[in-house]
Amino acid sequence: MLKSKTFLKKTRAGGVMKIVREHYLRDDIGCGAPGCAACGGAHEGPVLEPQPLDPASSLCPWPHYLLPDTNVLLHQIDVLEDPAIRNVIVLQTVLQEVRNRSAPVYKRIRDVTNNQEKHFYTFTNEHHRETYVEQEQGENANDRNDRAIRVAAKWYNEHLKKMSAENHLQVIFITNDKKNKEKAIEEGIPAFTCEEYVKSLTANPELIDRLACLSEEGNEIESGRIIFSEHLPLSKLQQGIKSGTYLQGTFRASRENYLEATVWVHGDDEENKEIILQGLKHLNRAVHEDIVAVELLPKNQWVAPSSVVLHDEGQNEDDLEKEEERERILKTAVNEKMLKPTGRVVGIIKRNWRPYCGMLSKSDIKESRRHLFTPADKRIPRIRIETRQASTLEGRRIIVAIDGWPRNSRYPNGHFVKNLGEVGDKETETEVLLLEHDVPHQPFSQAVLSFLPKMPWSITEKDMKNREDLRHLCVCSVDPPGCTDIDDALHCRELENGNLEVGVHIADVSHFIRPGNALDQESARRGTTVYLCEKRIDMVPELLSSNLCSLRCNVDRLAFSCIWEMNHNAEILKVRFTKSAINSKASLTYAEAQMRIDSTAMNDDITTSLRGLNKLAKILKKRRIEKGALTLSSPEVRFHMDSETHDPIDLQTKELRETNSMVEEFMLLANISVAKKIHEEFSEHALLRKHPAPPPSNYEILVKAAKSKNLEIKTDTAKSLADSLDRADSPTFPYLNTLLRILATRCMMQAVYFCSGMDNDFHHYGLASPIYTHFTSPIRRYADIIVHRLLAVAIGADCTYPELTDKHKLADLCKNLNFRHKMAQYAQRASVAFHTQLFFKSKGIVSEEAYILFVRKNAIVVLIPKYGLEGTVFFEEKDKPKPRLIYDDEIPSLKIEDTVFHIFDKVKVKIMLDSSNLQHQKIRMSLVEPQIPGISIPVDTPNMDINEPERKKKKREK
């Protein structure tokens, strides 16, 4: 049956266009209940259970299916995801509304409907002849959708009666909308609110904790005192932004001070790019990463960023006088030059809440169900939740979601989502750092895995189309020990004309991952493989990453090759790109490759090839450095793990060999050659990578630090920086040059992916290259897959597709890739920090030599070369007399009593694990040498803080 809608639309040119929308209604859409004679098995995909044996409900003791409305799906997704909730009918009307209102919830609900064990069934009610409803005159879209949901619920109950009158099989309508529920009951549909239904499941009391608390009236603080001003409605905010009264920006909370935040204003206005907010009332319930509207305060109310560290540790929510006192501390007398544009939040344009990891701060009131949850991320406010399982959750990492933040509540309200495990447990902490850095790490879904090639796999004739057979070449790979995702392999051989042929062969991942399918979408979402200390979160499924795409030795593999003809002076005479088939003759570690190069006894083909590559690499590196490429330094750490417990037993800085540099040189050369080629072919939509030059102010600390050691660092160009770093040597202090390079690394900007059609500046500062991209690691970086696709189209080896040549889509993709890469870096650092803590937990207290990297007003930041470990030594401690501190920003230096500290000074520090705050265990450093009375501690002082939580507990028990 066909329904059609006709309406007239005015075109831009002023004409009138008639539009006819056709809507097909069908009789053959199944209800999802197996064994239904009327539907005759017309359903596809996961279906409902014939006899739902769900947890008994005291409200509805007979078998039933659930049919939730849109708001229940949007707000109570945590309840619906619980294994106890099964047999749910998701209407098309509901799904469409959810899709329009929240992409993350839509994805979660799709995942639940694809899970066979949950028995969620999607019913296409908008195309079923008996459940389709047309919008009536004077009826808004929302009311029409509510009516469509009730019609479907009623139809289901009548339809199921025909199927099993004796079974009492019912469909229960779940809605939190009072009017909708009343109308449903009037129409004879069994209906309950989500809360009523969940509370009726007596066998699953833990489900109550997962309910989102939505009615703000019931969650007021008893005092009912209004703390915050009202948020303006969206329409007013948009008007205000248009007229310039308000500014729109991203709210960034401070890690150091819970009463301060900044708003990064959207748009190109240079004048008020960053606005400071100070004080609870001005922050007005905004949460980190929300999009907010701010109003600028008059200039006489502007403030300077505070240098005070304030963490919210109060238990008493009503202690607002204390908050006001703390706010006054922030407003210290400052120089007028320090004042920054200051504002207040007037409304929220878009909430960017996510589930937060953290710990429960159990209420001191006995039998209380209300507790405060402290997130691990210090930028997130504490959240009030109601739970009956507080005693079980104490000392565990949990996940909580925010539901809302009423005007009369000091903290937002939320609900418990999941118990992750015990604090300090390795699995739990790894899960926390993945969640906190938004690293997608769920197992690959069946939909994604269905696009993998069937095993056993081998190269077919079809695969060899547009591909060169290079299996005869003496190709080998060089990687870190234990590497299973081998992206790249190399070869070098002498040609008859006396020149050298050098090839870089990269895994042809884009052959297996085709544009637009589920595997491609998931790889694009993940963006990168994340390497933690003991775990690898793959971007592509293991079958590809460690097997079919990995260029292992003695197996045939598909590759994308970049082949140069060079003379013996490493000058490129010709370059060509081709898809190929290779067979690697050896998978070597850096140490094995180095040993072959150095060994006089070995002269086989592989070794000869490696020697040729190494010789050329040295020339390429020298030439690159002459152009101004930077060789910076960062103290990288490697853990040695106990093979049984997998705890770190030793920790050392990574050793770099010549072969590391050899591989790196050819990877850089391949990336530059490919970047030139794809930009020649696609000037508007090449995916490139740039590294912006840092603003001069970034270098201030480096220049001052060098000056304090009577050295001059020039920073006007990358070349002058590289040269002055090479000259900055001290015969009496050999480690100084490494320290300067580590400090120079801190001055750099972040390298980013971008689309060539959206930017004019392509230069890569660190590599001193006018153009650059990523081509050599497609197993672990999605950017390289796109570059492979562009290159394949450029050489006629593959066909294009619309998204590949859409610069706006590419720019969006780059944005996600840049975010994922940044988060992967942070997650890797967090993993190293956690394993360092485990190492010092088992090692106890140690004293080591360290060098000062930065001096602060009340502390020094030091680097311990032996462990590549950085930490802060504080000179002001709670409950101890304050020492005399004089900070000089110009030199920079810090005078403590009569001792002066400069950057790069050598000190001795004691390292220990401080567990006084279970949630934020940290490595604590204290000064041992030079000795300052009242500050330094003798080497053999026992550590009093290690078991602090135990002591606190005992006190409470007394």
Query: Tokens 């650092």 sit at which residue?
Result: 829
954 to 362, 423, 947, 957: CA distances (angstroms): 16, 19, 11, 5
Q: What is the pTM of this model?
A: 0.79
On whether both 658 and 735 belong to a single domain, the answer is no
Domain that holds residue 723: 693-747
Output the domain CATH number for residue 287. Answer: 2.40.50.690
Q: Does residue 192 belong to any structural domain of this protein? A: yes
Do residues 203 and 233 share a domain? Answer: no
Give me the pLDDT at residue 946, please.
42
DSSP E strand boundaries for 425-555: 468-469, 475-479, 488-494, 500-507, 530-531, 536-537
Identity of the amino acid at 752: V
- Categorise residue 188: left if φ over 0, alpha if ψ from -120 to 50, beta otherwise: left
Q: Tokens at residue 949, please?
A: 């939580």
Separation of alpha carbons 872 and 870, rounded Å? 7
In a shared domain, residues 666 and 565: yes
For residues 554 and 644, state if they share a domain: yes
Residues 607 and 677 reside in one and the same domain: yes
Q: What is the gyration radius of the CA atoms in the chain, in angstroms? A: 32
Question: Are 587 and 486 in contact, with CB atoms under 8 Å apart?
Answer: yes
DSSP assignment letter at 817: H
Residue 102's SS3 state is coil
Question: Which single residue is written with the structure tokens 């929240």?
Answer: 102
Residue 587 domain-assigned (yes or no) = yes
| Domain annotation covers residue 319 | no
Residues 628 and 698 in one domain: no
Q: Is the CB of residue 503 less than 8 Å from the CB of residue 491?
A: yes
Structure tokens given for 770: 């006018």
Express the helix, strand and coil content of the chain in percent, nearest 5 each: 35, 25, 40
In a domain? residue 321: no
Do 235 and 130 belong together in one domain? no
Which segments in the chain show pLDDT lower than 70? 1-7, 40-46, 53-55, 164-167, 214-224, 268-272, 306-337, 364-367, 633-656, 877-880, 916-919, 933-934, 936, 938-958
Task: Specify the number of domains making up the chain.
Answer: 5
Using CA atoms, how far apart are residues 830 and 818, in angstroms rounded to an integer?
18
Whether residue 593 contacts residue 612, with contact meaning beta carbons closer than 8 Å, is answered with no
What are 159-181's pLDDT values in tens digits? Answer: 888 776 566 788 899 998 889 99
In a domain, 584, yes or no: yes
Cβ neighbours for 382, distance < 8 A, ≥ 6 positions apart: 312, 361, 372, 373, 374, 375, 411
Separate counts of helices (H) and strands (E) for the chain: 24, 37
Asked if residue 737 is part of any domain, the answer here is yes
**275 vs 249: CA distance, rounded Å:** 9
Q: Are residues 165 and 203 in the same domain?
A: yes
Largest alpha-carbon pair distance within the chain?
A: 95
Contact 810, 823 (CB under 8 A): no
Distance of CA 372 to the CA centre of its chain: 26
What's the pLDDT at 793? Answer: 94
Residue 827: burial class (beta carbons within 10 Å; 0-12, 13-18, 19+): buried
Instruction: Single out the residue of 163, 170, 405 nearest to residue 287, CA to CA.
Output: 405
Cα 447 from chain centre: 23
734 in a domain, yes or no? yes
Say what the pLDDT of residue 817 is: 95
- CB 323, CB 280: distance < 8 Å: yes
Where are the strands (E) in 859-905, listed by range?
Answer: 859-864, 869-874, 885-888, 893-896, 899-902
Domain identity same for 615 and 500: yes
* Cα–Cα dist 723/720, whole Å: 5
Residue 686: the pLDDT is 93
Q: Report the half-sphere exposure of 95 (CA within 13 A, side-chain side).
A: 19
What is the pLDDT at residue 679?
94
What pLDDT score does 954 carry? 38
Q: Are 160 and 292 in a shared domain?
A: no
Can you tell me whether residue 887 is helix, strand or coil? strand
Same domain, 698 and 660: no
Same domain (yes/no): 677, 723: no
| Nearest alpha carbon to residue 117 among 61, 54, 198, 200 | 54
Read off the CATH number of the domain in which 151 is found: 3.40.50.1010
Residue 912 and residue 939: Cα distance in Å, rounded?
Answer: 12
Please indicate, yes or no, if residue 377 is contained in any of the structural domains: no
What is the side-by-side order of every strand in the sheet holding 846-855? 869-874, 859-864, 846-855, 906-914, 922-929
